[in-house]
Structure 1
């Protein structure tokens, strides 16, 4: 699909908890993300599905340099001055169109839609030189099974050096974070998710709101867990070995982040 020769090493597929803009000031998390990326093969391009862009039909974001999307409010001014001038990925966008365009599955282009904070906040820490082409695509649905199917369709890109990243948060209920510390619903869901992943209990994960303790509290709306299913679909064939690369909590939310393959 790309004009250049294919790479010999298949890229992994990632699900990461992306954090808010203040992640950059955390004493631990940026180093964890940097160490993670240092151990990966160098991608030829990065495809990101973020919790912060829901659009149907599935949309492809900018493939040329456009401003970032500062999709947050009430933060200090310096967070709105962050830049991430990664090259666009028009060849990757063309490959995605070829893989996804089919009867009943239209693909649209939104050429002025830049990277939102679910994409650029972790990429700033993982690939700070901003020299790898990045394409963001939307979440066209929150249905886990349909998202896994989307991931399966994107999976061939991994053999061409594309790093597929689902960016969300392993627990996410800002309205319920009323006190300092980690709430029980966050620890309970994180522990359940860890055990379900270790047991390869994909059916339970697909039905996570009903199957998990505190599932409705950990994800009252499911957009931050949804990118995991794109990653799982893209990782088909490597589902025997999901690795929790980062765990623990940040501002009460589980920052568990996973690598398949």
Structure 2
């Protein structure tokens, strides 16, 4: 019998939205169309802006309750369910790849998917029938996150969809100062698009200093940081890139990318 070889998967960076993403008239359909255009993953590896823990942690490998890591929202946002299968085989592959390369790994077996993971997955894979594993970011250092992405890259040949989930600009405090798209958000979005197009990895790695309004667009780097895992998993961004989603949501750039 001939073994079925999984199709090589792309690597994604997406702007994941907040829980009200489900109420947006445009964004859910964009995410659904995106997933429909992809090969079906054997499993999904999620790196979310909302889980920082060192050493690098592997979340639940069996179906676990979601982590509702937000406060003050209407009750129905806490009633969302996403009971995707766990991914113990993927977890074992991640352990081997990272430990073999000298990266410490720990297990947090009761840590369910947070909103950076499940909010987009509800729109992209609503059947919740694909195994999902979430891992933490052990650092916010862009170079170190790229190195983790490089170590994880072989998973793509096993049919694993690697997803970095953040937000291309993210400064909620500044948004409260007025409506519309702030200049800093638009400027950073334009700069990031051009840097990615030029494959200027050095500029991206030093985005806080090289970009216009970098420190306003990202007062903390956690929502831009998952991009660097994706870049590392895509040969440092050398693969063909497609900007699948652009535009703004509440003034934040929702630019979302596919490599490969």
1:186 to partner: Cα distance: 0.2
- Partners of 2:42 and 2:131 within 8 A in 1: yes
Q: Distance in 2 between matches of 1:6 and 1:137?
A: 27
1:13-32 Cα distance to aligned partner (Å, 9 max, x none): 00000000000000000000
Q: Distance in 2 between matches of 1:80 and 1:50?
A: 19
Work out whether 1:230 is the aligned partner of 2:229.
yes
Q: Distance in 1 between matches of 2:49 and 2:72?
A: 20
**Number of paired residues?**
258
1:30-75 Cα distance to aligned partner (Å, 9 max, x none): 0000000000000000000000000000000000111000000010
TM-score (norm 1): 0.96
Q: Distance in 2 between matches of 1:48 and 1:99?
A: 16
Structure 2 partner of 1:108: 106
1:240 to partner: Cα distance: 3.9
Q: Distance in 2 between matches of 1:180 and 1:63?
A: 42
- CA 1:247–1:56: 2 relative to 1, 3 Å: same
- Partners of 2:199 and 2:237 within 8 A in 1: no
Q: Distance in 2 between matches of 1:5 and 1:60?
A: 29
Structure 2 partner of 1:215: 214
Work out whether 1:50 is the aligned partner of 2:48.
yes
Please list every run of 5 or more consecutive structure 2 residues that lacks an aligned counterpart in the other structure: none
Structure 2 partner of 1:246: 245
Say what the alpha-carbon RMSD is for the aligned residues.
Answer: 1.3
Q: Distance in 2 between matches of 1:87 and 1:222?
A: 30
1:184-219 Cα distance to aligned partner (Å, 9 max, x none): 000000000011111111110111110000000000
Q: Distance in 2 between matches of 1:5 and 1:181?
A: 53
Work out whether 1:200 is the aligned partner of 2:199.
yes
- Partners of 1:200 and 1:240 within 8 A in 2: no
- Partners of 1:84 and 1:130 within 8 A in 2: yes
Higher mean alpha-carbon deviation, 237-246 vs 193-202, is at 237-246
- CA 1:82–1:43: 2 relative to 1, 3 Å: same
TM-score (norm 2): 0.97
- CA 1:98–1:104: 2 relative to 1, 3 Å: closer
Higher mean alpha-carbon deviation, 95-104 vs 218-227, is at 95-104
Partner of 1:22: helix, strand, or coil? helix
Work out whether 1:256 is the aligned partner of 2:255.
yes
Q: Distance in 1 between matches of 2:227 and 2:193?
A: 13
Q: Distance in 2 between matches of 1:35 and 1:104?
A: 38
